[in-house]
């Protein structure tokens, strides 16, 4: 468990955080997070059903949020899980907490296994008005279980969405599921930088978008989820065991004084 405020990085001030403190089994703070529910594939032919229950997302009592992927009971799949073989959780801060620019960090211990797809990311708060990808998407962290040491950072927008997203990856040289790591983006006007454990591994500017629009200068909200399978991943392999758990120690957003508007 982390200290409540270890001090902001140089040049940044802590603007908001969720430390996930509370009794084991408690739901996340409903003033901050809300679950998205359903098993329709989520645009990527994913295999999980996202629930709103504490069996898939709850505090662990040790200062972490636990998002747990489970096999569903075959007797209940059609009635309770839309026919999906797996259950998981997808938590968002839409209409509750949103930011324009900042150093956005999460300390996470990833789940493991082929077909397991954890992510920490952001979407434009205006998604209901302009749709995706016009709202913009910033993926702070994605990991695909088939590559247990690889972290991906990506953006999606008009002209660079889906398979055309602008992406970079870093090989951490260690299994990311074996320990907690700090995943972050420094998001500023006309520049986004990706970090793993304070190591910079990618920088994006409008010049990198091939003339397509930069759609990252308005408020975004946060998302945490673990998907299973899908068009960017693969079905779980025979060696993948369940349940699988993503532990989130904290999510923090730091801002610079000039970027607080």
Q: Which of 46, 137, 188, 234 is catalytic?
A: 137
By the 8 A CB rule, do 187 and 181 touch? no
To which residue do tokens 């434009």 refer?
A: 124
- Per the annotation, the verdict on 188 as an active-site residue is no
- Per the annotation, the verdict on 234 as an active-site residue is no
Q: Which of 129, 142, 188, 234 is catalytic?
A: 142
Q: Assign residue 171 a region: left if phi > 0, alpha if psi is -120 to 50, beta otherwise?
A: beta
By the 8 A CB rule, do 35 and 67 touch? no
To which residue do tokens 């898939």 refer?
A: 56
Task: Please give the positions annotated as active site.
Answer: 137, 142
């Amino acid at each position: 468990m982390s200290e409540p405020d270890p001090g902001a990085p140089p040049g940044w001030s802590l603007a908001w955080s969720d430390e996930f403190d509370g009794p084991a089994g408690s739901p996340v703070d409903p003033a901050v997070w809300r679950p998205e529910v359903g098993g329709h594939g989520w645009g990527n032919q994913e295999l999980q059903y996202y629930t709103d229950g504490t069996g898939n997302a709850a505090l662990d009592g040790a200062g972490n949020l636990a998002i747990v992927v489970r096999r569903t009971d075959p007797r209940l799949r059609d009635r309770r899980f839309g026919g999906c073989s797996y259950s998981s959780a997808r938590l968002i801060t839409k209409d509750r907490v949103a930011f324009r620019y900042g150093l956005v960090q999460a300390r996470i211990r990833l789940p493991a296994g082929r077909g397991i797809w954890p992510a920490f990311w952001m979407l434009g708060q205006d998604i209901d008005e302009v749709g995706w990808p016009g709202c913009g998407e910033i993926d702070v962290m994605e990991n695909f279980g088939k590559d247990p040491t690889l972290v991906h950072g990506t953006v999606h927008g008009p002209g660079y969405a889906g398979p055309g997203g602008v992406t970079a990856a870093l090989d951490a040289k260690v299994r990311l599921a074996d320990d907690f790591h700090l995943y972050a983006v420094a998001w500023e006007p006309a520049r986004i930088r990706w970090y793993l454990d304070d190591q910079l591994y990618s920088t994006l500017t409008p010049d990198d978008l091939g003339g397509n629009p930069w759609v990252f200068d308005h408020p975004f909200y946060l998302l945490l989820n673990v998907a299973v399978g899908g068009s960017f991943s693969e079905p779980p392999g025979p060696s993948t065991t369940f349940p699988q758990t993503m532990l989130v120690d904290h999510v923090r957003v730091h801002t610079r004084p000039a970027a607080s508007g």
